[in-house]
């Protein structure tokens, strides 16, 4: 039942030349197919390692010194004269500050009429004109619109719940021991 899991563990263990976990060793003792898979994987890994050994090249004796020299040079070059406000963050902050200053300058000093009685009358007239132009839909129409907009979401939610139930049933059928499934089934009745 859990052969696929143990085969995955066998593959990882043979690739990394690690010993098998106890549960997988116990499974191999009982399952002939997994035992055969383990033996074939072990022989393939051994054959690959034996074929690769003559082709292995030793690293240059100067490689370590080159790597260490480059590592010692990079932090000084990368962190040299950089400050907190250097580069693009400083340019972005400058652009935002100039934009704000330009907007303030463009608006100029506040007008006397802006907050006076004449300005309020203009605002009230504009609000009245806008209210005559805009027709507010009825409550029934709004309810119908919201139901129409919610329908695809409700359908998708039903599909997700159905898929989740199917997945849980599949997992229970394939991974839980039969005795545990039967006892859970009896408890639900």
Summarised one tens digit per residue, pLDDT across range 112-137 is 444 555 566 677 767 666 666 666 66
* CA gap 82, 78 in Å, rounded: 8
Q: What is residue 106's predicted lDDT score, i.e. its pLDDT?
A: 73
Query: Is the pLDDT assigned to residue 36 strictly greater than 90?
Result: yes
Alpha helices, DSSP H only, in 53-138? 63-78, 88-107, 117-133
Residue 5 contacts residue 175 (beta carbons within 8 Å) = no
pLDDT of 47 reads: 86
**pTM of structure:** 0.32
Report the pLDDT value the prediction gives residue 61, as an integer from 0 to 100. Answer: 74
């Amino acid at each position: 039942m859990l052969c696929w899991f143990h085969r995955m563990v066998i593959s990882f263990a043979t690739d990394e030349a690690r010993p098998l976990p106890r549960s997988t060793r116990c499974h191999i003792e009982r399952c002939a197919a997994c035992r055969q898979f383990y033996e074939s994987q072990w022989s393939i890994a051994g054959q690959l390692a034996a074929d690769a050994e003559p082709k292995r090249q030793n690293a240059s004796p100067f490689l370590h010194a080159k790597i260490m020299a480059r590592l010692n040079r990079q932090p000084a070059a990368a962190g040299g004269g950089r400050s907190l406000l250097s580069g693009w963050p400083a340019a972005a902050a400058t652009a935002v500050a100039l934009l704000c200053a330009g907007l303030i300058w463009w608006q100029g000093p506040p007008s006397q009429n802006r907050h006076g009685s004449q300005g309020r009358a203009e605002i009230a007239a504009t609000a009245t004109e806008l209210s005559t132009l805009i027709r507010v839909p009825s409550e029934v129409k709004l309810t119908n619109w919201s139901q129409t907009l919610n329908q695809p979401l409700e359908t998708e939610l039903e599909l997700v719940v159905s898929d989740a139930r199917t997945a849980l049933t599949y997992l229970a059928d394939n991974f839980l021991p039969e005795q545990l499934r039967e006892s859970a089934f009896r408890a639900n009745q």
